[in-house]
Amino acid sequence: MDGYTRVVEHLDLKGIAVEAGSGTDHGSTPFLAEHFIWQKIEFHTADPDPIAYRKVIDFDGVIAHNERAEKVIAGLNNICFGYLDGYDIGDVDKEESYQNRYRRIGYGDFSLRECAESHLKQAMLIEERSADKCVVIFDDTNFRWNKIRGKGALAVPYLIAKGFQPIDAFEEMEDSYAAWVVLRRDK
């Protein structure tokens, strides 16, 4: 079970929701869109890959953007929810390796450090533009005994310092990137 499926149905939020990295393989985009339609929350998804963008452009309840999530988030206010799952780093995806994907869209070799830095920028923008109640989920982030690894390695400590609290976390096995962490702040 992914973090978004476990947590999002139990939240009472008001504002705008944003997803970094359009989820076509695991279903995050259609799942979140369906939930946010029901909650009457505007939902944006951003992915710089035109192939990923084309896969989600026609989903009901989705405002899709074919650009980096940082640019989209910078144009939003009153953000109540962020699902940060962009820039997968790993072996091979069903269609092409992640590194080949990043080269194809002009990013060259994209390291885990660059991925974590991107998620930090996204988290900083969400924090600055957050609604009174805000939840942020970092996928592929291992959060165990204050040892944070993966996509949210830089962003999770930043948001905790800004008053966000961990409310849920999961890891498939120790030191695995098959993990996620959920943070929440109520102003």
What SS3 state is found at 19?
A: strand
87, 109 in Cβ contact below 8 A? Answer: no
What superfamily does domain 3-186 belong to in CATH? Vaccinia Virus protein VP39 (3.40.50.150)
Q: Taking Cα atoms as reference points, which of 63, 86, 83, 87 lies closest to residue 75? A: 63
The CA-atom distances, in angstroms, between 123 and each of 52, 84, 95, 105, 140 are 22, 8, 29, 23, 15
pLDDT tens, residue by residue, 109-156: 667 788 899 999 999 999 999 999 999 999 888 877 667 888 899 999
Residue 49's pLDDT is what? 86
Cβ neighbours of 166 (radius 10 Å) = 13
Look up residue 8 and give its DSSP letter.
Answer: G
The domain locations on the chain are 3-186
Q: What share of the chain in percent tops pLDDT 90?
A: 43
Write out the two tokens for 153.
Answer: 């390695």
